[in-house]
Amino acid sequence: METKELFSERRSITFIDKDRGLSDQTLKEIINLAVMAPSAFNLQPWRIIAVKTEDSKKKLFELSNKQDKVLEAPVTLIIVGNKEGYANNNPVWDEMLRSVGGNEEMVVGAKQAALFLYGSSDERKLKFAESNAGILGMAIMVAAKDYDVDSHPMSGIDFDGIHKEFNLNDGEAAVMTISLGYYDKSRKLYPRRPRRLFNEIASIV
Ligand SMILES: Cc1cc2nc3c(=O)[nH]c(=O)nc-3n(C[C@H](O)[C@H](O)[C@H](O)COP(=O)(O)O)c2cc1C
């Protein structure tokens, strides 16, 4: 799908065809495309919990203000941001060392910079997790559309409840959820609401 078409065609599909599944293979391909999303120092401070089983869906439904799409969708992704993704134990640092031909000084410098930029306050840690994982979320919705798979992002959810019930670590934050599936065309989606354009939202300084 052309990029311009993709952006204009993507909708948050409130009504999901509950009888149409999504194969694990397609899900994998969508995620493996979406992870081309940029991230700070390429640290990829995120993980994804794919909620597919009926029990897990019911649990997430309760933690999503009973939004029906969680029950209807073949899968809903919990996008988890890692507030400590700059730390030494992120395997990306080892990959970085290999990618820069073993230049340890460079990697040590990058680690120190990342620790300062993203780990020096709770606010910075949360911004780091949420900004990177949020970009991944958009990439997933765009990648899904390229596979003709529809999506619905949600943040009207119980973040603390999800953290607890889906066993997130202390250093992690649930950032948003995204239902994936196919629009149930028998139910009418409200018309797409207009956007505020450049002249209203942008300034050139
Ligand atoms: C971060 C985020 C959180 C959202 N949370 C919810 C939600 O909890 N429930 C819901 O019905 N829609 C949610 N939406 C969907 C928006 O309402 C929707 O994107 C917006 O109205 C524009 O419609 P469109 O995506 O069809 O263009 C969310 C969207 C985003 C980006």
Cα separation of 176 and 79, whole Å? 5
Count of other CB atoms within 10 angstroms of residue 159: 15
The pLDDT of residue 1 is above 90: no
Nearest CA to ligand 1 atom 17: 12
Q: pTM of the entire structure? A: 0.97
Q: Which atom from ligand 1 is nearest to the alpha carbon of 65? A: 8
Cα separation of 110 and 93, whole Å? 9
Nearest CA to ligand 1 atom 27: 11
Tens of pLDDT, residue by residue over 174-201, are: 999 999 999 999 999 999 999 999 999 9
pLDDT of residue 177: 99
Q: Which atom from ligand 1 is nearest to the alpha carbon of 152? A: 15
Pocket of ligand 1 (CB under 6 A): 11-12, 67, 153-156, 176, 192
* Dist. CA 11 → ligand 1 center (Å): 9
Q: Best mutation site among 8, 68, 145, 154 for ligand 1, i.e. most ligand atoms within 8 A of its Cβ?
A: 154
Q: Residue 86: which pLDDT band, with cuts at 50, 70 and 90? A: very high
Q: Which atom from ligand 1 is nearest to the alpha carbon of 156? A: 8
pLDDT of residue 24: 98
The pLDDT of residue 112 is above 90: yes
* Dist. CA 154 → ligand 1 center (Å): 6
Average pLDDT estimate for 118-123: 97
Domain residue extents for the chain: 3-201
Nearest CA to ligand 1 atom 31: 153
* C-alpha dihedral, 86 to 162 to 168 to 119, nearest 10°: 20
Average pLDDT estimate for 140-152: 97
The pLDDT of residue 125 is above 90: yes
Alpha helices in the chain (DSSP H): 3-9, 24-34, 54-62, 69-72, 92-99, 104-119, 122-146, 159-165, 198-201
DSSP state of 37: S
Q: Residue 118: which pLDDT band, with cuts at 50, 70 and 90? A: very high
Average pLDDT estimate for 155-165: 98
Helices (H) and strands (E) in the chain, counts: 9, 4
* Dist. CA 178 → ligand 1 center (Å): 10
Q: At what angle do helices 104-119 and 92-99 cross, to 10 degrees?
A: 140
Average pLDDT estimate for 22-39: 98
Closest CA to 143 of 48, 62, 43, 20: 48
Considering the chain, what percentage of its residues have pLDDT values greater than 70?
A: 100
Average pLDDT estimate for 13-32: 98
Tens of pLDDT, residue by residue over 2-22, are: 999 999 999 999 999 999 999
pLDDT of residue 191: 95
- Tell me the two tokens of residue 62: 């309760």
CATH tag, 3-201: 3.40.109.10
Q: At what angle do helices 122-146 and 24-34 cross, to 10 degrees?
A: 120
Cα separation of 113 and 118, whole Å? 8
Cα separation of 40 and 92, whole Å? 11
